[in-house]
Amino acid sequence: MSEPAAKATTSGVTPEASTAGSPGATAADAPASPKVSQKSSQAAETAETTAPTDPTPATDTADILPASHWIQAPLRNDSDDDSAYGEDILSSTASLSSSILQYRTLHGRTFHSELGNAESWNPNDAQHNESMEILHHASTLMQDDKLFLSPIGDDVQRVLDVGCGPGIWAIDFADQYPQAQVVGIDVSPTQPQWVPPNLKFECDDVTRPWTYQPDTFDFIHMRWLVGNIEDWYSLYKECFKALKPGGYFENKESSAIITSDDGTVTETSALSQWGKVFLEAGKLSRKSFSIVEDDIQRKAMEAAGFVDIQEHTFKAPLGSWPADEKMRELGQYLKLALYQDIEGFIVMMWTNTMRWSIDEIHVYAAHLRQELNSKRIHPYYIQKVVTGRKPYPGEVS
């Protein structure tokens, strides 16, 4: 059977039409609390080591402003800006014991212990997990309250969440499908202990050869591994092998490029520099941040042997500028997730790989916060979901 052509769906956003120079809501940019997982216990012992450094010095790329630019650039004092973001919400997670809790520290943030070849740029502390939980809420909202987009049916038995982070997707899935046995796997054991009885968490490096038996899972979900994976093709092949015939694989990734449709995100803005610096860091670390731009999800799905491949592309607004009510709410959450932990998102990559100082990180973050608060700027980035089905034996010639 030949593969059907991919179907792309896009959710668009439009700035508030009536107030071109000052779109968006008038209230502070904070929606009501999203659903978050159980309480955090920062139980981990932190090893007094720094995270591994990349010996390759950052290259000067024409489009990237030097880190010192942000120290020299004045911060605007604009009374038109949003004054605050929501400080409600949030709490987070942790569990387990032993050497996997010997976290590495970098500028006061914690990262996973040494395990296989994993070198995640995501902190595993409460502050970053809170951002991930807000992003989870936004992701579900973006997908019309759906946790996933694959047509998996109701009798799904075994489910795997790859790189599950704080575990909130797996928790929600296990709650919705109490008959399913759900496994969440991550290099950081920071998931809560109080979880649905049909859910367990495992700690491992998913870039190592998998030990799951072939044809085990009905559904494999993976979200936001961008910048953490050197060989996406191998990882997709492991997913293919571990799925039962007829089972579905779904991967959602985000672009690092923040842009606008109306030119309000300018080339030299902090918003625009975000993507440029991350893309360069991905090249230097050989863990790409251009998964969406390079269409890696579809290519790796095809190479692994998946069929019925479907693509869904979403615009992810940052802030309350969209005219559409749902997109405005989405933008508020997405802004909040970034705003409350800018340093956490960049500290590992931008210091170790790009060689920025921690002072440069803090000043850049101040510029980015200011731009995120501006009502005149209409930023967004792209999130892309690709789904595919493992064919039955003999289905594909």
Ligand X SMILES: C[S@@+](CC[C@H](N)C(=O)[O-])C[C@H]1O[C@@H](n2cnc3c(N)ncnc32)[C@H](O)[C@@H]1O
Contact segment (CB under 6 A) with ligand X among 32-40, 159-167, 261-269, 367-375 equals: 159-167
- Are the beta carbons of 60 and 277 closer than 8 angstroms? no
Distance CA(189)–CA(202), nearest Å, equals 8
Q: Which of 31, 34, 123, 163 lies at the binding interface for ligand X (CB under 6 A)?
A: 163
Three-class secondary structure of residue 381 per DSSP: strand
For β-strands 307-317 and 46-47, DSSP reports them as unpaired
Residue 56, CB-side half-sphere exposure with 13 Å CA sphere? 14
Site string (201-240) toward ligand X, x via CB under 6 A: ----xxx---------------xxx--x------------
Contact segment (CB under 6 A) with ligand X among 94-102, 181-189, 376-384, 389-397 equals: 181-189
Closest distance to ligand X from the beta carbon of 112 (Å): 6
CB nearer ligand X, residue 100 or residue 284: 100
CB nearer ligand X, residue 24 or residue 275: 275
* 330 is an interface residue for ligand X by CB under 6 A: no
Size of residue set near ligand X by CB under 6 A: 20
CB nearer ligand X, residue 16 or residue 133: 133
Q: Which of 13, 132, 134, 334 lies at the binding interface for ligand X (CB under 6 A)?
A: 132
CB nearer ligand X, residue 23 or residue 163: 163
Backbone angles phi, psi at 22, to 5 degrees: -145, 65
DSSP, residue by residue, 179-222:
TSEEEEEESS----S---TTEEEEE--TTSPP-SPTT-EEEEEE
Distance CA(338)–CA(150), nearest Å, equals 27
* 169 is an interface residue for ligand X by CB under 6 A: yes
Please enumerate, as own/partner, the contacts of 271-278 that have beta carbons within 8 Å and a separation of 24 or more.
271/318, 271/368, 271/371, 271/372, 271/377, 271/379, 273/64, 273/65, 273/364, 274/368, 275/381, 276/61, 276/63, 276/64, 277/64, 277/346, 277/349, 277/350, 277/354, 278/227, 278/349
Contact segment (CB under 6 A) with ligand X among 71-79, 148-156, 158-166, 295-303 equals: 158-166
Contact segment (CB under 6 A) with ligand X among 161-169, 325-333, 360-368, 386-394 equals: 161-169
Closest distance to ligand X from the beta carbon of 128 (Å): 8
Three-class secondary structure of residue 111 per DSSP: strand
| Cα distances (angstroms) measured from residue 136 to each of 133, 175, 198 | 5, 15, 20
Distance CA(338)–CA(135), nearest Å, equals 9
Angle between helices 126-142 and 325-339 (to 10 degrees): 160
CB nearer ligand X, residue 165 or residue 275: 165
Distance CA(292)–CA(382), nearest Å, equals 8
Site string (85-124) toward ligand X, x via CB under 6 A: ---------------------------x-----x-x-x--
Contact segment (CB under 6 A) with ligand X among 5-13, 45-53, 172-180, 182-190 equals: 182-190
Q: Which of 126, 164, 281, 316 lies at the binding interface for ligand X (CB under 6 A)?
A: 164
CB nearer ligand X, residue 161 or residue 311: 161
Three-class secondary structure of residue 158 per DSSP: strand
Closest distance to ligand X from the beta carbon of 384 (Å): 14
Closest distance to ligand X from the beta carbon of 148 (Å): 12
Closest distance to ligand X from the beta carbon of 113 (Å): 11
- Determine the residue with CB nearest ligand X: 165
CB nearer ligand X, residue 171 or residue 372: 171
* 292 is an interface residue for ligand X by CB under 6 A: no
Closest distance to ligand X from the beta carbon of 311 (Å): 18
* Tokens found for residue 154: 């109701």
Backbone angles phi, psi at 134, to 5 degrees: -65, -40
Distance CA(347)–CA(361), nearest Å, equals 7
Closest distance to ligand X from the beta carbon of 132 (Å): 4
Neighbours of 378 (CB within 10 A): 26
Closest distance to ligand X from the beta carbon of 58 (Å): 22
Site residues (vs ligand X, CB under 6 A): 112, 118, 120, 122, 132, 136, 163-165, 169, 186-188, 205-207, 223-225, 228
